Amino acid sequence: MRGRCLYISVILGVFTFSLAEEQLVDKDIAKARVEVKQFIKEDAPLFHNVQVKYIGGAVPELLLLNNSDQEVERIGLSNLSREECNQLLLKKGFYKKTTDDEEVPEEYLNGPYKEREEL
């Protein structure tokens, strides 16, 4: 009888441990989201021809549209850091202003935006 009690308590111990591990993973994912939120709130508005649209409950995604507003490419941002989100848009050829009222250079005013090899 005592042997059986011990067995159960060991199982409980293992179970608690794996729960704790799962919470750690959850925490990591939440952090990545916060960074995307900062990107969306603070960085995305500085990019020319990038529009931020809030859709309640939706995962953050980057939609690349053609001149007729049709979707050409869709990239999930959930797992990217704030820095990676910035790099992604720059790599896609978009122009980031340093201040709200900075003038956009002629060549970036309108698309098509071409992928850049290096930044």
Ligand X SMILES: *[C@@H]1O[C@H](CO)[C@@H](O)[C@H](O)[C@H]1NC(C)=O
For ligand X, the binding residues (CB under 6 A) are: 66-68, 70, 72, 76, 78-79
Q: How far apart are CA 32 and CA 11, in angstroms?
A: 33
Strand partners, 41: none
6 vs 72, which CB is nearer to ligand X?
72
Question: For residue 3, what is the enclosing H or E element?
Answer: helix 2-38
Q: Closest distance between ligand X and the C-beta of residue 100, in Å? A: 30
Task: Please say which residue, 91 or 97, places its beta carbon nearer to ligand X.
Answer: 91
Point out the residue whose Cβ comes nearest to ligand X.
Answer: 76
Shortest distance, CB of residue 33 to ligand X, whole angstroms?
10
Closer to ligand X at the Cβ: 46 or 50? 50
Give min distance, CB of 53 to ligand X, in A: 17
Of the pair 23, 98, the CB lying nearest ligand X is at: 23
- Residue 96 gets which letter from DSSP? B
d(CA 118, CA 81): 19
What distances in angstroms separate CA 108 from CA 63, 73, 84, one per listed residue? Answer: 18, 20, 21
Q: How far is the CB of 26 from ligand X (least distance, A)?
A: 11
Q: Are 10 and 49 in contact (CB under 8 A)?
A: no
